[in-house]
C-alpha cells in the first residue's frame, strides 16, 4: 500500500502486487491458514483502497471491481496451469499431473468445469460465475 500511496487504485494492486504474491502458487501446498493469510492481505488492500471498516466483508467490493478473492485467484491459476500442462508437449509434466489428478478433479467439480480442454476464457468464466453465485447466495 505504501507504493500505491494516495492515488490508491485497484488496478495497480491487481497488476503489480497480485503476481508477486501468487508467484508459483500453482505448485504450493496450501493449508487453510495459508489461504487465510494471503486472503487477509488482499482483503486489507481493498479495505484500505475503499476506506472501509476492518470488520466489513470485501466480497461485494471485489465483485464490483471485477476481482476474485485470493482463494479463487489461486485456484484459477492452478486450473489454468494444469490446463497448460495437458495441452503442452512435455510428456514428463503430463505424467506428473496424474499425481495431482484428484486435486484437479476437485477444482473442476467445485467450479463446474467439465473439461480442461475448454478455452481459457471459458474456464475463467466458470470460476467467476462460481464466485458471483456464492457472493449472491451469502447475501453480501
Q: Is residue 16 part of a domain?
A: yes
Q: Is residue 15 part of a domain?
A: yes
Domain tally, the chain: 1
Say whether pLDDT at 9 is over 60: yes
Mean pLDDT across the stretch 73-89? 91
Task: Say which residue, 12 or 73, is predicted with more confidence.
Answer: 73
Model pLDDT, residue 57: 85
Q: Is residue 2 part of a domain?
A: no
Percent of the chain whose pLDDT exceeds 90: 35
Q: Is residue 112 part of a domain?
A: yes
Q: Is residue 47 part of a domain?
A: yes
For 37-58, what is the HEC assignment? HHHHHHHHHHHHHCCCCCCCCC
For 53-118, give the DSSP string: -TTS--HHHHHHHT---HHHHHHHHHHHHHHHHHHSS-HHHHHHHGGGHHHHHHHHHHTT---TTS
Rounded mean pLDDT of the chain?
86
User: How much is the pTM?
Assistant: 0.84
Tens digit of each residue's pLDDT (9 = 90 or more) over 87-140: 889 988 888 888 888 888 999 999 999 998 899 999 999 999 999 999 888 765
- Domain extent at residue 45: 10-138
Model pLDDT, residue 2: 53
Q: Is residue 78 part of a domain?
A: yes
Amino acid at each position: 500500500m505504501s507504493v500505491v500511496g494516495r492515488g490508491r487504485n485497484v488496478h495497480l494492486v491487481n497488476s503489480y502486487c497480485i503476481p508477486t504474491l501468487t508467484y508459483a502458487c500453482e505448485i504450493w501446498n496450501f493449508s487453510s491458514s495459508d489461504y487465510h493469510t494471503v486472503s487477509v492481505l488482499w482483503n486489507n488492500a481493498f479495505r484500505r483502497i475503499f476506506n472501509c471498516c476492518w470488520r466489513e466483508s470485501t466480497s461485494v467490493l471485489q465483485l464490483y471491481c471485477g476481482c476474485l478473492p485470493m482463494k479463487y485467484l489461486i485456484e484459477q491459476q492452478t486450473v489454468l496451469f494444469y490446463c497448460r500442462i495437458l495441452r503442452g508437449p512435455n510428456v514428463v509434466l503430463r505424467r506428473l499431473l496424474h499425481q495431482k489428478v484428484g486435486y484437479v478433479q476437485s477444482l473442476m467439480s467445485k467450479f463446474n468445469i467439465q473439461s480442461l480442454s475448454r478455452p481459457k476464457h471459458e474456464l475463467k468464466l466458470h470460476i467467476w460465475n462460481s464466485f458471483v453465485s456464492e457472493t449472491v447466495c451469502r447475501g453480501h
